[in-house]
Chain A
């Protein structure tokens, strides 16, 4: 079974430029998560989707970040414009159903973003 797929794996951009990340979750997983991991820290949730509905986006900086999950499958996270502090690893994860509190989340390989 294929795991969570993310692209691109690496991205280098100049500040104020836009950038987009793509994620395809494990087949059949209804819940999709976007996390950001700063160097030396654990991942922090940005947004969680249940099918195509964003059920928790309280940590998403909405002035510059946006996300969508059309048709409840793959998802795109966008930053516009990017700032130096956005340099981090952006991780996508998926699970069958977030309402099952024992549910395991499976992580993709991540996108390493460097903003110059």
Chain B
């Protein structure tokens, strides 16, 4: 089992729709959860971080964390073509103390 797994892509949604990205992790000791966005040929850019169970909202982005289910998700409301990118889920803490463990990424395409 991979340490961090993301829903397989690619994911395609129409402009204005909600994009839902999912991630599960295996280490119950994990404490920090991050979503990075990576445009093609560019470096990862942090868009959301979450540390406690529940929802965290930032503009059109909402991160959701359920530690009991070892599940973290990212919702993008009113998706725009500029949101088209690879989204990387990353986990820190537990056995990943001091480092980020990334999932394989989910490619999102928002079509006009």
A-side interface residues toward B, CB under 8 Å?
A: 31, 33, 40-45, 48, 55-56, 91, 98-99, 101-102, 104-110
**Interface contact B102-A44, CB-CB below 8 Å:** yes
Using A98-B99, A109-B43 as known contacts, say yes or no to A42 and B104 having CB atoms under 8 A apart.
Answer: yes
**Interface contact B105-A107, CB-CB below 8 Å:** no
A2 to chain B, nearest CB (A): 14
Contacts of B93 in A (CB 8 A): 101
Contacts of A42 in B (CB 8 A): 4, 88, 90, 102-105
Q: Tell whether B78 is near chain A: CB-to-CB under 8 Å.
A: no
Contacts of A40 in B (CB 8 A): 104-105
**Interface contact B43-A107, CB-CB below 8 Å:** yes
How far is it, in angstroms, between the C-alpha of A43 and the C-alpha of B34 when the chains are bound? 13
Contacts of B92 in A (CB 8 A): 101
Q: Is the interface of B mostly helix, strand, loop or mixed?
A: strand
Contacts of B42 in A (CB 8 A): 109
Contacts of B44 in A (CB 8 A): 43, 91, 107
A22 to chain B, nearest CB (A): 15
B-side interface residues toward A, CB under 8 Å?
A: 4, 31-32, 34, 42-46, 49, 51, 88, 90, 92-93, 97-105
Contacts of A109 in B (CB 8 A): 42-43
Using A42-B104, A102-B32, A108-B43 as known contacts, say yes or no to A33 and B90 having CB atoms under 8 A apart.
Answer: no
How far is it, in angstroms, between the C-alpha of A104 and the C-alpha of B42 when the chains are bound? 18
> Which of B4, B43, B51 neighbours the largest number of chain A CB atoms within 10 Å of its CB?
B43
Using A101-B92, A107-B44, A109-B42 as known contacts, say yes or no to A43 and B102 having CB atoms under 8 A apart.
Answer: yes
B107: nearest chain-A partner, CB-CB: A40
B60 to chain A, nearest CB (A): 20
